Structure 1
């Protein structure tokens, strides 16, 4: 006996719990039997390949079931992909924000340091200009380097320090990698040059002493000559302040005057023409050794000054390289 159409529609229209095919329609022996008996029942019943009067189901899943099977997993994959992409974007945004925050902090420190560096250069330049204006006649004691005066040294040093500080300030404000790298390389070369000169000075002390004494004795012959007012005033100030006479002895002046005579600045009590008196009225201490002993007594202060200068330069190098690396990172993360 055949089932009625009402029973058949009941089996076809009963929904599954999740809107999908029943478990026996997806696989197992029931599906295989339904497909076999469905084809046989379709031949017997002549209903055009229906699922069979006994099972009342199609052999293949319908379009809604297929859509439920394949569309839902793809949607889940897309959701997971979007979540991963959003998480990665948030991480990169956080890293970018941290990089910009570090960059701003280093930028402030770099600018403050170079501003102080630049102001220090202005001070050194101002002192050099003041010396050149008020004591322009004070020059070097060396005949080989007549332009190597204290005023000229301060002017050159101050100008150089100002230029380096200006490059560092502009590089920090503009976050310019080229200017930062220029500042770093220039300051590094200066530090290496200072270290080389200091090492050579301590390694070749005897040779430097002989050369300096020979050059200073040669400069004595320019004392009091036209066009050498600076050297004359320099020797007068040195001999008066340090209470010394000559380079290695007061007899160094005998070769200059070709007589038993010294400048008036060598006298114990200054008076016009006192250098023509007896040697008992002159200072006996050699100026070279006296100045050298004064430097040795103040070697600690000189060493502290040199160490502070080196530390300031190393600090500038650290700020410059840190700023450069932060700019590179910020460009990489936030490009």
Structure 2
């Protein structure tokens, strides 16, 4: 019985180490996504950023819970071990919920991004919409694209009144390089700017990252499920030992 308990206790220590690392992984994953896409808030909306923020919070909670589990295992305290198992159960449900929410958002992301892109184009370079202007310039430079579906999407905006596209569309980003591009035919335009749209590439990147977030949340949740089982086993073994004593 003593050997069995010692084995379970060491396994619980191992899982606590994994929990600590998983908490760090959640914090890093959430933080990286939050930082990488903060400039695209106008395209993605608050729904996208709620998931990485939630993962950061859960990661911080895991650090606390892992410490609590270590104390319970070291002291062989049944109450602390049982509480640890229950806390793991709550975290497991939270992470699986976050994973499911991420996959649901993944199915809506195309419509969300397309709608926000088209709305943002109409407000490009307008007073009070500096964030939209910055987001469009960043995405067009980084992805090397122009407009949502194609460069002529800019013809439906107030910015194109002089047949211009943003300079961030240009092959060489020089001030004024986007002037009168919309009066050119497609062949001539390709010699000056990136003519393909940003939507398809950007939405695919976002869908891929959301999939990663969902997978990380569910994967770590499953690891914690095993830890919860071991905690219940240890708690039960401790209860039997107290009864024997």
TM-score grouping bracket, smaller chain normalisation: 0.7 to 0.9
Q: 2:219 aligns with which of 311, 317, 328?
A: 311
CA change 1:158–1:211 in 2 (3 A) is closer
Q: 2:197 aligns with which of 286, 304, 322?
A: 286
In the other structure, the counterpart of 1:108 is: 13
CA distance in 2, matches of 1:208, 1:293: 9
State the aligned residue count.
226
CA change 1:219–1:146 in 2 (3 A) is farther
Instruction: Provide TM-score, normalisation by structure 2.
Output: 0.73
Deviations 1:182-204 (CA, angstroms, capped at 9, x unpaired): 22222233214413542x467xx
Matched, 1:168 2:96: no
Conserved? CA contact 1:110–1:172, under 8 Å = no
Could you tell me how far 1:318 is from its partner in structure 2?
A: 0.8
Question: Gaps spanning 5+ residues in structure 2: where?
Answer: 74-79, 183-188
Deviations 1:199-218 (CA, angstroms, capped at 9, x unpaired): x467xx5x653443123211
Larger radius of gyration: 1
Matched, 1:275 2:178: yes
CA distance in 1, matches of 2:175, 2:14: 59
Superposed counterparts of 1:179-190, under 5 Å:
179-190=84-95
Superposed counterparts of 1:1-335, under 5 Å:
95=1, 97-124=2-29, 127=32, 131=35, 138-142=39-43, 145=45, 154=52, 156-175=54-73, 176=80, 177-195=82-100, 197-198=102-103, 200=104, 205=107, 208-257=109-158, 259=161, 260-279=163-182, 280=189, 281-292=192-203, 307=215, 310-335=218-243
Which structure carries more relative contact order (alpha carbon 8 Å, separation 6+)?
A: 2
Q: In terms of mean alpha carbon deviation, does 223-232 or 184-193 score higher? A: 223-232
Could you tell me how far 1:292 is from its partner in structure 2?
A: 4.3
CA distance in 2, matches of 1:224, 1:116: 45
Could you tell me how far 1:112 is from its partner in structure 2?
A: 0.9
CA change 1:328–1:223 in 2 (3 A) is farther
Conserved? CA contact 1:213–1:247, under 8 Å = yes
Match of 1:271, SS?
A: coil
In the other structure, the counterpart of 1:16 is: none
CA distance in 1, matches of 2:71, 2:221: 20
More helix as a share of residues: 2
In the other structure, the counterpart of 2:76 is: none
Match of 1:103, SS?
A: helix
Could you tell me how far 1:276 is from its partner in structure 2?
A: 1.6
CA change 1:180–1:293 in 2 (3 A) is closer
Question: Gaps spanning 5+ residues in structure 1: where?
Answer: 1-94
Moved over 6 A (4+): 301-305
RMSD: 3.5
CA change 1:331–1:213 in 2 (3 A) is same
CA change 1:159–1:289 in 2 (3 A) is same
CA change 1:305–1:215 in 2 (3 A) is closer
CA distance in 1, matches of 2:126, 2:51: 24
Match of 2:178, SS?
A: helix
Match of 1:268, SS?
A: coil
In the other structure, the counterpart of 1:46 is: none
